[in-house]
Amino acid sequence: MALRARMLAAMNTPSSPTPNFSEPDSASADSFRSRVCRLLPCPLLQEYGLPILIALAITSIGMVLFYTGVGSVAPVASGSVVRLTMYPIHPVFNPNADSDPGTPGPGMPGAPLDQDQVIVLGQVQVKNISKAPLDIFDLSAQLTLPQEQQSSLGASPTDIDRLFQGFPDLASVRMQPLLRHQVIPPGQTAEGLVVFNYPITQQQWKLRRKFQITVSFDKGSSLVLHAH
C-alpha cells in the first residue's frame, strides 16, 4: 500500500501533464467542415441546414415505405376465370354478298369478312373485397403472341346475342354476360360471360405466351385475371 501511495503521489505532481478535455482544435473542425461542404455548399448549409436535413429524412422515409409496400394501393376485388373457350372462325364465301350487302358475315361485328378469327369466351367471377360498392367500368383482354401483343375490348350484350344466333353450337357455354356498369355490393360475387375476338388463326392461338382479362372499375385498382 505504501508503494502504491508513493506512485500516485509521483503521478500527480505539478509537472505531470494535464489531460486536455477542450474542444477539438481548429484544424479538426476545418477538416470536418470541408467534408460536409463536399456534399452541400457551406453558405447553403449554414442558412438552410435544418430544412434540408428534414427534407432528406422525409425522402428517406418515403422510399422505405414505397419499397416495403406500405404505400401501395389495396386491391378492391379478387376473381378467377372459371372456364375459357376458344372458337375458331374461318371466312366463308357468301354468294349473296353483292345482292345483299346488309347480310352479316361470320364472327364478331367489325371484323374483316375474309380473315380468320378466334373468338374467346370466358366465364369470369369477380368478388368485391372492399367496403364500398364496385361499379364495373370496362372489360378488356390482352393476348401475348411470340412476336406481338393484341388487345380486344369485351363484346356488348347485343353482339354476344348475335354471336350465339350465328353459331348455335356455342349454346353450351352461353350464360348471362358480365356487364359494364354492373354494380357489385361489398362482399358479393358477380359471375358472367365475357367475349373477345382476335384476327388470328387457331394455330396462332395455340402458340400464345399469355392471355389475361382486365376488369376495371369506376374507382379503385383494376383486376387482372390470368387464363391458360
- pLDDT tens-digit series, residues 85-114: 999 998 765 555 444 444 444 455 555 556
Q: pLDDT tens-digit profile of 204-216? A: 999 999 999 999 9
Q: Are residues 85 and 197 in the same domain?
A: yes
* Residue 206 lies inside a defined structural domain of this protein: yes
**149-153 and 183-184 strand pairing:** unpaired
The region of weakest confidence among 57-71, 111-125, 149-163, 195-209 is: 57-71
- Predicted confidence at residue 99, as pLDDT, reads 46
59 and 166 belong to one structural domain? no
DSSP class per residue in 23-48: PPPHHHHHHHHHHHHTTS-HHHHHHH
- Give the pLDDT confidence score for residue 104 in this predicted structure: 45
In a domain, 16, yes or no: no
Which residues neighbour 210 within 8 Å (Cβ) at sequence distance 6 or greater? 142, 143, 144, 226
Location of C-alpha cell 369478312: 113
Q: Is residue 120 part of a domain?
A: yes
Identify the domain containing residue 43 by its residue range: 25-72
Task: Please report which confidence band the pLDDT of residue 58 belongs to, taking 50, 70 and 90 as the band edges.
Answer: confident
How many domains would you assign to the chain?
2
**Shared-domain flag, residues 142 and 125:** yes
pTM exceeds 0.75 for this model: no
